[in-house]
Structure formats: C-alpha cells, structure tokens
Structure 1
Amino acid sequence: MKKIHYLLFLLLSTSMFSQEKLSLETCYSLLNKNYPLAKQSDILAKQNELDLAAISNIKLPTLELGAQTTYQSDVTQMPISIPNTTVESPNKDQYKATLSVNQLIYKGGFIDATAKVSQASLKTQQKQVEVTLYQLKKQVNTYFFLVVLFNEKMELLRAKKTMLEAKLNEVKAGIKFGALLPTSDYVIEAEVLKIKQQLEALSLNKSSLIKSLAQLIGTPISTHTEFENPTITTDFNTDLERPELALFQLQKEQIETSEKLLSKQNSPNIIGFATGGYGNPGLNMLDNSFQTFYQVGVKLNWNIFDWNANKKQRESLLINKEIVENQEAVFQLNTAIELQQKQTEINKLSNLINSDLKIIELRKKILKSAESQLKNGVITSAAYITEVTNLFEAENNLQTHKIEMLLEKANYNTIKGN
C-alpha cells in the first residue's frame, strides 16, 4: 500500500504543472524552496547550535585524570643529622595518580563574546545564501520570458500557416478555372512547409528551455503548461532593497563582534580547582610511603603583555570593516549604473513598440491590396508571399519587443530589489 501511495505522489509531482498555469512569481517561490543551496540555511543553523553548545560547555567544570611514574638520579636529603632520629630519603622511583576538577569562575566576558561572534557569523552566512538565491532570479527571468516569446512566435506562425492554407485553396481553385498560372500554388505550398520547419525548431528550443527552468526551480514542468504573461510595473527611482545591502551590514556587525571578542581575549582568568591524588611520596616528601592527598584553591592567569599583538589584530579588523564599506559603495554605484541602462533600454523598447504598431497597420493595408491583385492575376503568388512575410515580420517584431520589455522590466525590478 505504501508503494502505491509513493507512486501516486511521484505521478502527481511529475504532472504538477501539466494542466496549470505557471507564473513568474511561482518560479521565484519554487527557486527559493527547491534549489539545493536553499537547504544550506538550515544546515548552518544546526551547525551553529552545536557551536553554541560547545562554547557554553566552557563554563562547566572539567575533570582531568593524570598518572605518572618516574625514576630520578637523585633525591632530596637532609643536610644535617638529627641525634636519635632517622630521616629516610624519598625513593628514587616515585608514583603519583591524580584527579583534578577545574571550574572557570571569571573570564572577562570572553565566552559570551565568542557566542555572539558565532551568532553573527550564522546570520552573515545565511544572508549570503539568500543573496546567491536572489541572484538566480535573473536566470529565471531569462528562461521564463524566452518560453513566453517562443509561444508568441509559434502562435504567429500558426496564424500565418492557417492564412496561407486558406489562400492555397483559393489559388488552386483559380488554377482549376484558368484564372491563375498552373505553378502559382507551388510557392505557397513551399512557404507552408517552411513554416512547419520553423514550428518544429521553435518547439524543440522551447522544450529545452522548459527543462532548464524545471531544473532550476526543482519542479517538473510539462510542455503543455501555460506560462502566464505577467503585467510588470516599474518605479524608476534609485531606492535599493537588495539583500546584498543587508549582507554588507551583517558583515560589518560581525567584524564589530569579533573586535569585541579580541578586546576580551587578554582578560584575566580566575579558575577554582581541587585535586585529589594517591602516590609515593605524597605531599609530605619525608614520608616514604604511598599516601592520599588533596589540594584546593584558586588561581589567576592574566596575559598582561603580548607585544601589542591583540591591538594589531583589532586594527586589522577595522581595516576589514573599511573594505566592506568600500565594497558596499562600489555595489551601489554599479547597481545605479545598471538601473540607468535598463531604464534606457525600456524606454527604447517602448518607442519601438509604438513604431511596430504603425508599421503593422501599413502592412495590413498593403497585404489587403496584394490579396486583391493576386486574385485578379495582377501579381504572382511569390509577390503575395513577400507581403505576407513582411506583415508576419512586423507582428513578430512587435511581440518580440513586448516580451523583451517585460524581461527588461523584470530584470529592472530584480536589480532594484523588488
């Protein structure tokens, strides 16, 4: 039964878009969900949990078991003799086993600062993942609108083919009744065959694009899926909302937390300890026998001079912060230039579309006149085909410019961060 459910699930997932419409926004959503890199944010979060747990464990007491046996060439001896008293010298072979407990009492905030660095690093890495995914949106735009463009081209070709097939029937009727030359239908038949070739080539290219888009968004797409032709509006201002800007800010914050960590690196460490042991000799060096012993106390470690190594590391971090600020300024400048270029391209395409509409109106009038002339035998079918092709090219240019403008608008919004 489980196998049947699994097969049904695969079947449903495979035909997910077989009967549905696919929008550009849906592609964006699927990209962020299914692209392999998207899983890295959760992986980084799990890794950070382990890092924070390890950092927190520094506050816990540590146990250290030690054992040693030694043989030495000489031992401590009494420099004087005491009457009626025998003082034995320790054995040259000595044995000792100890168990020590150390508890960190004070470390100058170093542990908390280390945890903050780890958290800042996690946020930066996760934002980098988001930036990488966002940069793939341009690739999605290209695939999506190329498919839309191919669909429009194929629709135009089918319309042209239908019109020529109807005209072919008229021409054959004219040949039959002697109104047209016997070979007039050959030119139209050849053009119909040429259109079939073009449709086949476009279909293959479209299938290849759909496969590439499906791989990118991690979801199978049927060749019968309808790609929605979106309405895209653009606001021509320079206010950026790119995730890269947030990444630059997080990188600077990470540098600041690292600098704070370095400032606490040379703080004094206060450690409480207790050591119990068994050995020969014990703490009493004059008692030449196995004894138990213990020590308890507090110790202070403080590196009060490191030849300014810590100071130089902190200065280096501040330079890194300046580098990030410089990268941010370069990014904003390059993005502003790119937006200006896209805006110019959009305006150019808008003008071309207006010209295309006027050209199409003129081409329709010319073709209407050519149809009448062909019917009356004034022009050849080849001349008629030329006018049909001219109208088709004008309509094709219009659709191409419309889709190109949609692509440029989508890329403009992507560059801007919308």
Structure 2
Amino acid sequence: MKSCISYKGIKVLGLLLLFVTGCSLSSFSQEGTHYTLDKLIYAAYVNYPYASQLDLNESERRESVKDLGVEWLPQVSVTGKTSYQSEISSLKIPGSVAQNFGLNIEGGEKWQYQGTVSLSQLLYDGGLNRTEKQLARTQGDIKSYQIKSSMLQIEDNIDHVFESILLNREQIKIIKYQQKDLELRKKDICMAVQNGIALKTSSQEIDADLIQLQQQETSLRMQLCQDFVQLSSFTRLDLDTTTVLGFPKDTAVVAMDYTGRPDYQIFGSQILNSELSEKKLNQEFIPQLSFFANGYYGRPGLNVMDYSSHYSGLVGISLKWNIASLYDNVHKKKIERINRDLIKNEQSLFEINMDKQIKNLAIDQAKNRRLLDSDDRVVAIRLNVKDVAAVQLKNGSIMLTDYMIKLNDVSQAMINKSIHRIELSMDRARMKTLLNKNNEEQ
C-alpha cells in the first residue's frame, strides 16, 4: 500500500508543476473556443502583418503609376534674376549718321533684371511613358506575389502545427487509456500480494510504469503549449490548450491545378517585366516631341538693344533624339533576353517539383486510406489478446512484463489508427494548401 501512496504523491507534484507552467490538466479539460483549420487559416490571412503589406504595396503601386502620369501634364516653372555689372556694351554712332538713317540707340543699363515663366508640354514620346506605367504595375504585381508566397508559407506552417496538436492530443488519450488499465491491473496485483501469490515488486513495477506514463503525458502537454504559442503567433488569436480544434473537412480536390499559386504566377509577371524592359529600351531611341513657351519681363528682353522694362516671349517645338541609345542598349537587350530564358528555366524546375509533390501527396493519401481500413481489425485483435493476458496476469500464469507487451501492442495499434486518420485528413488539407485552394475560397 505504501507504493500506491508514493505514486499518488508524485502525481500531485506533477499536477502542481503543470499548474505553475500554465498548462495544467484541469485547464486542458475545460471546454474552450472551437476552431477549424479553415477558420485559423482565414484568421492568419486577415490578422498577420502580411495582410497590411499587401494593402501598402497596392497603394504604392497606384501612386507610382500616378506619378508617371504627371509627365503628360504641362510643366510650368518660374524664375527670376537680377544683376549689376561694372560695364556694358556700347556703340558710338555720330549724330548726323543716326539722324540720316533714323537710328535710335539708347545707352544700356548696368542694373539688369528679368522674370521668366516657362511652360512645356510633351506631345509625343513614342509610347515610353505608357510602357513605364506598365512596368510600374508589373513590378507591383511581383511584390504582391512575393508577399502572398510568404503568406502561403505561413499557411503551410499552420497545417503542420495543427497536425502536431491533433497527434499529441490523441497520444495523450492513449496514455490515459494505459494509465487506467494499469490502475486496474495494480488492484489485481495488490490482491495477489495480500494472498501471497505475487511479489510486492510487481506492484512497484506498475508504479514505475505509471510514473513513466505521467512523464510522457507531461512532455506531450508541454509540447501542446508550444504548439499553441506558434498557432497564436500565426493567427494572432488568443489560443491555448483549452481551444477545441475540429478535424479538417474531408473535401477532395478534383483539379490538380497549381497555377493559382503566387510563387508560380510570379514567373509570368517576371517574364512580362523583362519584355516591357526591352520594349522600353527600344522606345528610348524614338525622338520625343514637345511644345514650349517662355514669357519674360525685365530689361533687357529678347531685344538686347532695348533696355526699357517690357514684356517679351517666344513659343516653339523642340525635338529630342537620343541617338546614342541605338548602340548603348544593344547589350542591355541581350541581357533581358537571357534573363527571360533564366526565368523560364526556373519555372520548369518549379513545375517539376510541384508535380512531384502532388504525386507524393496523392500516394500518401492512398496509403493512409488503405491502412485506416484495416486499423479497426488490428485494434480489435490486440484488445482481445490483451484481455486474455489480463486474466492470465490475475491468475499468476504470466509475468507483468508479458502483460505490458500486450498492453503496449494495443496502445500502438490505437496510436497507429489515430495517426492514419489524422494524416489522411491532413493530407487533404495539405493538398488544398499546395494548390492554393484555401485562398481561393476566401
């Protein structure tokens, strides 16, 4: 009986330890908030900082396009200057000559000033500005796909943590089953010890096994706490070990199409970005036509011989032709073509890897489905063998170690059944993540 009391004391200490760490058995058994895998993934897409990054990236893209559009608005500038010079140009003409020819040349002014209003309007750029806008939009798409790819990795992490929690909880249930069974066997052993047909050490062996099971349970519960910390960080929800997680829906994915993945769509945007960059290089050689108008007030004006304060102005058409781009951009174009070939090569590697993952996951589903079909028979047989061994142990015809082998066989069969059931369900969930179907449903 002392050994029974000793085990209870150890069990109390274990419970106190769990309470201190915030993951006590009592709190674990309480009814908590219900969440499905789909709800957790949706919460991550709404609450994780990547969501705000997408909004900020979209705002940046719009502003970049608007900024490029300003080039087609009239460009107006105002300048002013004043100066004083020590000497000025002069032309001395005899009075008789000036009078005979009707010349009226006044003396210059050493203090000069001028205000200028300049206006220019782009008339034709060969489509360069339109291409720059398309580049800005495409670059914004690439950033958006990069953010979504990072979010898809978070979704994959949630799948793994979710599966870990389900497996740990199932293992805790099996440990509880083993503890309950050993408690019943201990009562039989205690009666056998009192009747002198069993040794006291048999009861102590059961105590040691119970302590080991308690240690395993403690380890699993601590792992659960860590898993829920991770899950909370991904979803930004207040989750703990009291949270109830439902099994993923058993919805089969019909179309094995992964083209909706952001890390696949980014290849198309990168190729388009390279094509637009090459198009821009070609358009840089096209002459640009602009209208300009300048207005002046001051002295002297456009007529440098008139030093009175007056208005003047000019209008015209300007032509800008960057001839050097004809040979400067030759190598840049070749680089863009090589870059496109590299992107297409990376896309091919991605497709090979995705096809392999989809096939392997489909094989895993088939494997777990077939194993699950036979798990119930294995558990039933193991239970029957264990029940017979329990009677033999009670009668003293077998040793405790023999019985423990049968009990562990039953436990392993139950664990295998739970693992196959959880893995089959999570295989379907992982297939949805792999094909980015969760994001499409939101």
- Which bin holds the TM-score, normalised by the shorter protein? 0.7 to 0.9
Counterparts of 2:401 and 2:415, CA distance in 1: 20
Deviates more, 1:160-169 or 1:93-102: 93-102
Q: What residue in structure 2 maps to residue 380 of structure 1? A: 399
Once the two structures are TM-superposed, the CA of residue 330 in structure 1 deviates from its matched residue by 1.0
Bigger shift: residues 192-201 or 265-274 = 265-274
Q: Which residue of 1 aligns with 2:58?
A: 45
After the TM superposition, which of the residue ranges 211-220 and 336-345 deviates more from structure 2? 336-345
- Counterpart amino acid of 1:379? I
Query: In the alignment, is the contact (CA less than 8 A) between 1:127 and 1:243 conserved in 2?
Result: yes
Give the secondary structure class of the aligned counterpart of 1:175: helix
- Over the matched positions of the two proteins, sequence identity in percent amounts to 25
Give the distance between the partners of 2:246 and 2:40, measured in 1 at CA: 11
- Which residue does 1:98 correspond to in 2? 116
Which residue of the partner structure matches residue 213 of structure 2? 195
Question: Residues 403 and 61 (structure 1 numbering): CA distance in 2 closer, same or farther, change over 3 Å?
Answer: same
Asked if 1:254 is matched to 2:284, the reply is no
Aligned to 2:332: 313
CA 1:297–1:236 in structure 2 vs 1: closer, same or farther (change >3 Å)? Answer: closer
**What are the Cα deviations for residues 166-203 of structure 1, in whole angstroms up to 9, with x where unaligned?**
22223323333445444432222222222222111111
- Partner AA of 1:53 in structure 2: K
Distance 1:19 1:362 in 2: 36
List runs of 5+ in structure 1 lacking aligned partners. Answer: 1-16
Q: What's the offset of the Cα at 1:205?
A: 0.6
- Please identify, of 176-185 and 365-374, the stretch whose mean Cα deviation from structure 2 is larger: 176-185
Amino acid at match of 2:383: K
Query: What SS is found at the alignment partner of 1:184?
Result: helix
- Report matched runs for 1:18-417 at 5 Å: 19-69=32-82, 83-85=96-98, 87=105, 90=108, 94-232=112-250, 239-241=257-259, 242-349=261-368, 353=372, 359-417=378-436
CA contact (8 A) 2:248 2:429 kept: no
Alignment gaps of 5+ in structure 2: 1-29, 99-103, 438-442
Q: In 2 relative to 1, CA 306–182 (structure 1 residues): closer, same or farther, beyond 3 Å?
A: closer
1:255-305 C-alpha deviation (Å, 9 max, x unpaired): 333333333333333322222222332222222344332222332223345
Query: Does the 8 A contact of 1:187 with 1:382 survive in 2?
Result: no
SS in 1 for 2:239: coil
- State how many pairs are aligned: 402
Q: Select between 145-154 and 338-347 the one with higher mean Cα deviation.
A: 338-347
Amino acid across the alignment from 2:277: S
Contact 2:253/2:428 (CA < 8 Å) preserved in 1?
A: no
Change (3 A) 1:204 1:116: same
Q: Is the 8 A contact 1:185 1:381 kept in 2?
A: no
Residue type at the aligned position of 1:228: G
What root-mean-square deviation, in Å, do the aligned CA atoms of Structure 1 and Structure 2 show?
3.1
Normalised TM-score (structure 2) = 0.80
Query: C-alpha displacement at 1:413, in angstroms?
Result: 4.1
TM-score, normalised to structure 1, is: 0.84
The Cα shift of 1:149 comes to 0.1
